[in-house]
Structure 1
Amino acid sequence: MELEFTGEIWHWKGPSPFHFVTVPEELCDALDATAGLVSYGWGMIPVRVSIGGTDWTTSLWPKDGRYIVPLKAAVRRAEGLEVGATTTIQLFVDV
């Protein structure tokens, strides 16, 4: 499965701070349908992600009935991304 969307980068200031982009609601139904096949626990969905010229593997995190994409610091540096910026993300889920 391949999904593409644009979203805003936001920062969570928890005990382990992270930057995320929230998957649009209209794409979450397709992800929910595959979660049972690929999730390894807690609803996490392993994915390959591409932003610009940067590719990496991570897992989507379930949050408030949707999914969020964690953005590593190395990815943000490589692509010049900061909180509040809008970016286009490609997600690849091996089903």
Structure 2
Amino acid sequence: MRFEFTAPLWEWSARAEWFFVTVPDEASADIREIPRPPRGFGSVRVSVRVGGSSWTTSIFPDSTVGCYVLPIKKAVRVAEGLAEGGEVAVSLTVLDL
């Protein structure tokens, strides 16, 4: 199952230098409905592409916004010229099916 969306990059206030984008409401709801084995912290394994960068990681549920959040590692932020508050075009594929 693949999702494409654009969302702003934000820094986690509890931990400096950790940056995320929020998976939109509708995509988060669709991902929650996918049957899969339970994983730590409710995480879901995904493959991600942002610009010319691709990697595998996990998305995590964020109870404060009711959606999943996608961590964007520093190497990707640097390679793609991403800055806090900027829009990030994401292609995300769920691997836990």
- The 1:8–1:38 alpha-carbon spacing in structure 2 relative to 1, beyond 3 Å, is farther
Where structure 1 has 5 or more consecutive residues not aligned to the other structure, the ranges are none
Offset, 1:39 = 4.2
- Contact 1:39 1:46 (8 Å CA) reproduced: no
Q: Does 1:87 align with 2:83?
A: no
Offset, 1:56 = 0.6
Give the length in aligned residue pairs: 94
Q: Distance in 2 between matches of 1:7 and 1:15?
A: 20
Q: Does 1:9 align with 2:3?
A: no
Offset, 1:38 = 4.7
Where structure 2 has 5 or more consecutive residues not aligned to the other structure, the ranges are none
Q: Distance in 2 between matches of 1:39 and 1:50?
A: 24
Offset, 1:71 = 0.4
- Match of 1:77? 78
- Match of 2:27? 27
When the two structures are superposed, what TM-score results if normalisation uses the length of structure 2?
Answer: 0.89
Q: Distance in 1 between matches of 2:89 and 2:39?
A: 26
- SS where residue 57 of structure 2 aligns? strand
Offset, 1:29 = 1.2
CA deviations over 1:24-76 (Å, ceiling 9, x no partner)? 11111111012x40542221001010001000111001102210000000000
More strand by share: 1
